[in-house]
Amino acid sequence: MRMGLTMDAACDLPQAFVQEHRITVMPITVKVDGETFMDDRDPAEIQRFINRRLGNRSHSAETEPTTAEEVQQLFLKRLVLEQDCMFCLTITATRSPIHDNVVRASFAVLRGYREVREPAGINGPFLMRVIDTRNIFAGAAPAIWEAARLIAADEAPATIRERLNHIANHSYGYMLPRDLYYLRARAKKKNDRSVGLFSAVLGSALDIKPILRCFRGETGPVGKARGFEQGAQQLFDYAAARVRAGLLVPVVCASYGGDLAVLSHLPGYTGLRTACEECGVTLLEAPMSITGMVNVGEGAVTLGFAAEEHEAAF
């Protein structure tokens, strides 16, 4: 059985990984300050967004994820001919409508694929499995990495689906923002009350940075640090400890909202890299998506791994 992967653009993974595993990216259109960006994880488009230095203006951006109709067309015009089973992974449904869009599209695809495949001489059913990673940005990476591994191992679709749901339920995504004013302004734009004005003002005045966690679709603060540098040290030290304690999937993904070269120079990152090397864990580095930078601000760090359920210790 030919099996493939799709993911939405807000899932942070390196372009080399996306290309190696022939992952189809469902794009997100971003409109900000009179300009339009096609967020499909193309490094050149991400760099164009960074080079434009839109800065604080991006919090008012409009984002338009792939619609159900566009997903339907993508599958019926191309993917049902190229594959026999597609796993579609999205960021958490609590933060984006794209999961619901793909689910709606799947009904039409499963009704109509025979009319496309049979004239092309392709017999047999087509399967479409939609997986909510229940996480955001780099936090979606463990489930996608595991999906690619299982497909390469030619595991049965039912086995893959069960495993991916398990990983999604045990994926942890962490974020360290640079600019709380920006984060609060964007939250206000989206009518999201998770970052209050008082917290933003107080945090910025004292240079207190929150460490935020997404777990099973819920996002909230689990720690704080005096300044971004200290926050990075705490976050990477914590991730290194989790690596040594054992992960469900031998991968950690880190993404950065800007020049990716900055990531390796942040305090604590060398220690995380060393822990991964010692434990046989793959450390992936990815630029944050344009959508991610619009939502949390440039210069933010996100990090994801899958582990047994545990309490955050910051």
**Structure token digits, residue 34:** 């009179």
pLDDT reported for residue 61: 83
Which of 128, 119, 121, 115 has the alpha carbon at shortest distance from 84?
128
pLDDT reported for residue 205: 58
Phi, psi of 243 (to 5 degrees): -60, -45
pLDDT reported for residue 108: 97
Please tell me the distance from the alpha carbon of residue 245 to that of residue 313, in angstroms, as a whole number: 13
With beta carbons less than 8 A apart as the criterion, state whether 62 and 30 touch.
yes
pLDDT reported for residue 191: 67
Please tell me the distance from the alpha carbon of residue 67 to that of residue 84, in angstroms, as a whole number: 23
Please tell me the distance from the alpha carbon of residue 177 to that of residue 231, in angstroms, as a whole number: 9
pLDDT reported for residue 55: 65
HSE, side-chain direction, 13 A CA sphere, residue 282: 17
**Structure token digits, residue 199:** 């917290």
Per-residue pLDDT tens over the stretch 191-248? 665 555 445 555 555 688 999 999 999 998 999 999 999 999 999 999 999 999 999 9
With beta carbons less than 8 A apart as the criterion, state whether 265 and 232 touch.
no
Torsion, Cα of 260, 48, 95, 102 (10° steps): -110
**Structure token digits, residue 58:** 């991006």
Per-residue pLDDT tens over the stretch 69-83? 999 999 999 999 999
**Sign of CA pseudo-dihedral 40, 43, 49, 50:** positive
Please identify every stretch of the chain with a pLDDT value under 70, giving residue numbers as ranges.
55-56, 191-206
Burial class for 120, CB neighbours closer than 10 Å (0-12, 13-18, 19+) = exposed
